[in-house]
Amino acid sequence: MNIVVLAAGMGKRMHSRLPKVLQPLAGRAMLDHVLTATSGFSEYPSIVVVGHCADEVMARYVDREDLRFALQIPQRGTGHALMIACPELNPNDAHTLVCLGDVPLLSRDTIARMAEEAKSSDLVLLTVKLDNPKGYGRIVRNADGNVCAIVEEKDANEEEKKIDEVNTGIMVLPTAKLEAWLGALTNENAQGEYYLTDVIGLAAHEGARISTVHPDRIYEVEGVNSKVQLAALERTWQRAQADRLLEAGVTLIDPDRIDIRGELVCGTDVEIDVGCIFEGKVTIGNGVRIGAYSVIRNATIEDGVEVLPYCHFDGAAIGKDSRIGPYSRLRPGAELKGNNHIGNFVEVKKSVVGLDSKINHLTYIGDTDVGARVNVGAGTITCNYDGVNKFRTKIGDDAFIGSATQLVAPVEVGAMATIGAGTTLTRNAPEGKLTLSRARQVTVEGWMRPVKK
Q: Which are the catalytic amino acids?
A: 361
Integer-rounded Cα Rg, in Å, for the chain is 31
Closest separation in Å from C-beta 327 to ligand UD1 = 43
**Interacting residue with ligand UD1 among 81, 230, 296, 307 (CB under 6 A):** 81
**Interacting residue with ligand UD1 among 77, 104, 319, 354 (CB under 6 A):** 77
Identify whether the C-beta of residue 215 lies closer than 8 Å to the C-beta of residue 221.
yes
Q: Counting contacts by CB under 6 A, is residue 167 touching ligand UD1?
A: yes
Q: Counting contacts by CB under 5 A, is residue 287 touching Ca ion?
A: no
For 139-178, letters b (16+ CB in 10 Å) and e give bbbeeeeebbbbbbeebbeeebeebebbbbbbbbbbbebb
CB-based contacts of 443, cutoff 8 Å, min separation 6? none
Q: Counting contacts by CB under 6 A, is residue 33 touching ligand UD1?
A: no
CB-based contacts of 398, cutoff 8 Å, min separation 6? 371, 372, 373, 374, 415, 416
For 93-127, letters b (16+ CB in 10 Å) and e give bebbbbbbbbbbbbeeebbebbbebbeebbbbbbb
**Interacting residue with ligand UD1 among 95, 96, 128, 136 (CB under 6 A):** 136
Identify whether the C-beta of residue 330 lies closer than 8 Å to the C-beta of residue 316.
yes
Residue 54's binding partner out of ligand UD1, Ca ion, none, with CB under 5 to 8 Å set by partner kind: none
Cα 209 from Cα 126, distance rounded (Å): 14
Cα 266 from Cα 246, distance rounded (Å): 10
Closest separation in Å from C-beta 226 to ligand UD1 = 11
| Residue with nearest beta carbon to ligand UD1 | 137
Residue 77's binding partner out of ligand UD1, Ca ion, none, with CB under 5 to 8 Å set by partner kind: ligand UD1
- Which uninterrupted H or E stretch holds 229? helix 227-247
Closest separation in Å from C-beta 127 to ligand UD1 = 9
Identify whether the C-beta of residue 149 lies closer than 8 Å to the C-beta of residue 200.
yes
Residue 167's binding partner out of Ca ion, ligand UD1, none, with CB under 5 to 8 Å set by partner kind: ligand UD1
Site for ligand UD1 in 86-105 (CB under 6 A): 100-103
Q: Counting contacts by CB under 6 A, is residue 19 touching ligand UD1?
A: no
Identify whether the C-beta of residue 270 lies closer than 8 Å to the C-beta of residue 287.
yes
Closest separation in Å from C-beta 239 to ligand UD1 = 22
Closest separation in Å from C-beta 102 to Ca ion = 5
Cα 378 from Cα 291, distance rounded (Å): 23
Closest separation in Å from C-beta 17 to ligand UD1 = 16
How many residues touch ligand UD1 under the rule CB under 6 A: the total is: 28
Site for ligand UD1 in 186-205 (CB under 6 A): 195-197
3-state secondary structure of 5: strand
**Interacting residue with ligand UD1 among 2, 23, 168, 212 (CB under 6 A):** 168
Q: Counting contacts by CB under 6 A, is residue 9 touching ligand UD1?
A: yes
Q: Counting contacts by CB under 6 A, is residue 57 touching ligand UD1?
A: no
Q: Counting contacts by CB under 5 A, is residue 223 touching Ca ion?
A: yes
Given the rule CB under 6 A, which residues bind ligand UD1?
6-9, 49, 72, 75-78, 80-81, 100-103, 136-137, 150, 152, 166-169, 195-197, 223
Given the rule CB under 5 A, which residues bind Ca ion?
223
